[in-house]
Amino acid sequence: MKGFAPPPRFGGAQVPMEPVPVTRTITVTEGISVKDLAEKLELRAKDLIATLLMRGVFVTVNQSLDGELVKDVARQFGADVQVITFEDQMANEAFENMLSQENPDELEVPRPPVVTVMGHVDHGKTSLLDAIRETDVAGGEAGGITQHIGAYKVKIGKSDSPAFGREIVFLDTPGHEAFTRMRARGAKVTDIVVIVVAADDGVMPQTLEAVDHAKAANVPMIVAVNKIDKPDAQPERVKKQLADRGLVPEDWGGSTVFVDVSAKKKQNLDLLLEMICLVADLGNLKATPGRTAVGTVIEARLDRGRGAVASVLVQNGTLRNQDSFIVGNTFGKIRAMFDDRGRAIEVAGPSTPVEILGLEGMPDAGDTFLVTADRDKAKSIAQYRKMREREAQLAKSSRVSLEGLAEQIRQAGVKELPLILKGDVTGSVEVLADSLQKMSTEKVRIKVIRSGVGAITESDVLLASASNAIIIGFNVRPERKASDLAEQEDVEIRLHSIIYELQDEIHKAMLGLLEPVFKENYLGRAEVLNVFKIPKVGTIAGCRVTDGILRRDADIRLMRGGEQVFKGKLTSLKRFKDDAREVTNGMECGVSLSGYSDVQVGDTIEAFTTEKVAAELTSAKPSDRRQVGEAVS
């Protein structure tokens, strides 16, 4: 018959129109291309494309396929499919390659232990590391609190120590309670956890959290009882408190190693390092330097001059300069590599923390880092993951707006505090977003509409203006154009470097949303140029209005060095010798303050009016505010 085209064939047979019995199992990686799947199914690529076309799927030979679609199509050809990640496939190939060697045991060598330091805030974790490294990390942290994860390699240099010459890698995780997820991530990449407890303070809630994370990860623990040099130190009390939680000291018949140390006096630091090496020997830690490198991203940030920079802990294999890699939903090629002290290096073996340049995008803290010989394959996998992530986000936003419509109507009385969060590193941003959203209550719901790494940009300000949001900057500042735009659009930007101060401010903002009583309207500002002491009259401040207007009936606040020293009313406002109702920008005047005479040259007088908000805007009674405060705190 003219115009008749026979159905496509494979292996000499027709493409089945109906599914055939499953007779084999194939393993494919995520985002497999049409060409690779055809090879796995022993088909010609054009036959597979024809089959997909009949299912209404239009693809090219190099296009990536979704896992569910791969399973459905393969089942039609009698094959069951197991979809694994690219990292799992590379790990399997490395394992099979090692087994194929004549003496696989000789390929494995002992590696330095990775130690995570955990504990309560201000118990001396970073100070203990400083004493070991003989550096000063804590001095550079805001408020003396560690905000990021740091990784350091330490070599034991005392010749009389049994562990002389050995190396230990330390991860210094933040101790504040809001960084719980950071500490949990640290426990996943570590071999040993050192719990630091202050002898004068005892066991705290964050100490117990650290213990729980270590137990969940099934990691051996060593307890370092710090600050034993203090007069009120009670190391035995710490032992009792932890023994009650299941960590029984060895000298009490248990299995947990306790070491009394003093970071300030550098007491027993050698003993602590020896105990770490002893526990590591019991764990028989080994790695294969000859295989391709695999590791975990400890932290990532944007650097103005260097682009995306990632701190990576190499867990196995050897990482070299110019290696191509895939990490999360991005990829790259190593342009430069630095050790924990900022020195450029060419090669990094197992248990080595390094900082790498050459990323095409920003990875997330905790992503698996994997070196691959095929850069194009890494690029296609990264693009596939990015596409899947974008689809998931779109699906999520669609569900919220449609399926949650009835819930939003039902909760019409709930106030919403939208925030845009920008930080210097991904770990901080992720944890801050999570901790702030957990502060939501029945009366106020906090919604982080955007979070990211880097300086506050014009795009952030425009989004905040459109969504009536507040911008929070954590260890970052706004760009100059963004600051000007924020002032123009009346967008509020709050900058912080210590997390609990940020939480306190958000808490206050929530209470302010619950019951706004007064609203301040800014009028103007005047600078004090001279001060006159007049008998029987008092102190008169000679001022020049630098912005807006100064009104006699307005409320004022006296600012000195950025701090408020007085808030009240004006007793008099004069132009030359005449009383004035108001004085405008650029004019000079004489001012006396009601009940306050300690005015100094250089002070600033701000004038404002207070407006009482309408009663119908009030959404909570004082008792409700107390309950919300208790819930947040």
AA letter at 43: L
Q: Confirm if 167 and 155 have CB atoms less than 8 A apart.
A: yes
List CB contacts of 150: < 8 A, sequence separation 6 or more.
137, 171, 172, 340
Q: Confirm if 299 and 310 have CB atoms less than 8 A apart.
A: yes
pLDDT at 209: 75
pLDDT tens-digit readout, 67-97: 788 888 888 887 888 887 776 766 666 655 6
Q: Does domain 518-612 have CATH number 2.40.30.10?
A: yes
Interstrand relation of 192-198 and 221-226 (parallel, antiparallel or unpaired): parallel
Cross-strand pairs, 13: 10
Q: Which CATH number describes the domain made up of 294-382?
A: 2.40.30.10
pLDDT at 347: 92
Pick the range with the lowest mean pLDDT from 122-136, 283-297, 417-431, 588-602: 122-136
Q: Confirm if 590 and 544 have CB atoms less than 8 A apart.
A: no
Interstrand relation of 221-226 and 330-338 (parallel, antiparallel or unpaired): unpaired
pLDDT at 102: 52
pLDDT at 163: 65
pLDDT at 146: 53
Same fold, 294-382 and 518-612: yes
Interstrand relation of 294-303 and 347-348 (parallel, antiparallel or unpaired): unpaired
Q: Confirm if 546 and 527 have CB atoms less than 8 A apart.
A: yes
Where along the chain do its domains lie?
A: 9-84, 112-284, 294-382, 412-514, 518-612
Average pLDDT of the residues of the chain: 78
Cross-strand pairs, 299: 311
CA 112 – CA 247 distance, rounded (Å):
25
CA 610 – CA 219 distance, rounded (Å):
59
Compute φ and ψ for 111, nearest 5 degrees: -125, 160
Burial 541-556 (b: 16+ CB within 10 A, else e): bbbebebbbbbbebbb
AA letter at 45: A
HSE-up (13 A, CA, CB side) for residue 493: 28
Q: Which CATH number describes the domain made up of 412-514?
A: 3.40.50.10050
The more confident residue out of 594 and 407 is 594
The more confident residue out of 377 and 370 is 370
Start-end of H helices in 372-444: 375-402, 405-410, 426-437
Report the CATH superfamily, name and number, of domain 112-284.
P-loop containing nucleotide triphosphate hydrolases (3.40.50.300)
Q: Give Cα separations from 453 to 215, 354, 472 (angstroms).
A: 32, 20, 12
CA 326 – CA 322 distance, rounded (Å):
13
Portion of the chain with pLDDT greater than 90, in percent: 5
pLDDT at 421: 92
pTM: 0.61
pLDDT band at 11 (very low <50, low <70, confident <90, very high): very low
